[in-house]
Amino acid sequence: MSYSPLIDELIDALRCLPGVGQKTAQRMSFQLLERNRPGGLRLAEALQEAVAKVGHCQRCRTLTEDALCRVCADPKRDASLICVVESPADVAAFEGGGEYRGTYFVLMGHLSPIDGIGPADIGIDLLVERAREGVSELILATNPTVEGEATAYYITQQMRQLGVSVSRIAHGVPLGGELEYVDSGTLAHAMKGRRPID
């Protein structure tokens, strides 16, 4: 169904969000216009300001409005330890855990030759430059997908040439998960990655 041009434009604009289809965008649009116009204005202002002012950290490439993000600017973080992730959301996930005290490098994606995404497109040349600055360990935390694994393999090969120690985060059964609900691929990966109990 077609509405007025401005409503159609709003619905279409909201569809750019991941997981938001026509019906969800329509529901969001009507919610903002019918019941929460102040919230809609606040959303529009926050989005406009964020798009205008948020860029990438000069060191790790995560999203920030400063030249260096809070992690890279923190002198208490271990700069010799770099965790390589695919997106700024991955940085937020690790930071939410509160255990990791090193720094990050955000690839902004993964290798995907089918899509024309090569090493230069995800900044591996910049990662190699950082690794030359005295990195003791590179932790690969790319997603456990075919593309994520290929990306991890490629980075490992690059780091071996530099003599940098490389590790990969563990994958497997989630803490608190019940085995009967875990898929067979995850269980197989967990079994291969088992380690002795100290």
How close are the terminal C-alpha atoms of the chain, in Å? Answer: 64
* Percent of the chain residues past pLDDT 90, beyond the cut: 80
Q: Which of 30-39, 154-163, 172-181 has the lowest mean pLDDT?
A: 172-181
Task: Tally Cβ neighbours within 10 Å of residue 113.
Answer: 9
Let me know if residue 10 belongs to a domain: yes
Q: What number is the average pLDDT over the span 82-96?
A: 95
Which two three-digit tokens encode residue 31?
Answer: 């919610």
Let me know if residue 104 belongs to a domain: yes
pLDDT at 7: 94
Let me know if residue 37 belongs to a domain: yes
CATH number for the domain that contains residue 20: 1.10.8.420
Let me know if residue 30 belongs to a domain: yes
Regarding whether 43 and 92 lie in a shared domain, the answer is: no
Regarding whether 164 and 97 lie in a shared domain, the answer is: yes
171 vs 51, more confident: 51
CATH number for the domain that contains residue 118: 3.40.1360.10
Q: Identify any residues that bridge with 63 across adjacent strands, giving them in sequence order.
A: 56
- Is the Cβ–Cβ distance between 88 and 79 less than 8 Å? no
Regarding whether 90 and 154 lie in a shared domain, the answer is: yes
pTM beyond cutoff 0.95 = no
What is the count of structural domains for the chain? Answer: 2
pLDDT tens by residue, 10-51: 999 999 999 999 999 999 999 999 999 999 999 999 999 999
Triad 117, 120, 124: Cα angle to 5°: 110
Domain that holds residue 149: 83-168
Let me know if residue 58 belongs to a domain: no
Let me know if residue 191 belongs to a domain: no
Let me know if residue 59 belongs to a domain: no
Predicted confidence band of residue 190 (pLDDT cuts 50, 70, 90): confident
Regarding whether 88 and 157 lie in a shared domain, the answer is: yes
Whether the per-residue pLDDT at 166 is higher than 80: the answer is yes
State the average pLDDT for the chain: 92
pLDDT at 192: 78
pLDDT at 198: 64
